[in-house]
Amino acid sequence: MALSEKDKTAYLNGLRRFRAQGVSILVDGARTDEKEWSRILTVSEDSSFYMGDYIEEASSGRLKEIRFNKVSKGGSRNYRKNVERPL
């Protein structure tokens, strides 16, 4: 099911609020410019899509990062890379 433009705008505004509070937003393991965020809301022709992982600071429980990685039927393409290489 595709998101409406209103829902997309609301989601992206939420990411902007998190970023304004110091939360890093990463796509495929890299900090990205806001204009690239819309790709996380799409489903590719091969049915792959982006899934967000919310990472907390261990000491405070405060949200420190949101990592979006592309996943497909076979699992995350970047999962192993992100687990082995801390950001």
Residue 82 has pLDDT above 90, yes or no: no
Task: Quickly tell me which residue has 């690239």 as its tokens.
Answer: 36
| Residues 34-56: tens digit of each pLDDT | 988 988 998 888 888 999 999 99
Closest of 28, 1, 3, 2 to residue 14, by C-alpha: 3
- DSSP 3-state assignment of 80? helix
Residue 2 has pLDDT above 70, yes or no: yes
Residue 12 has pLDDT above 50, yes or no: yes
Q: 66 or 74, which is more confident? A: 66
Average pLDDT over the chain reads 85
The structure's pTM equals 0.75
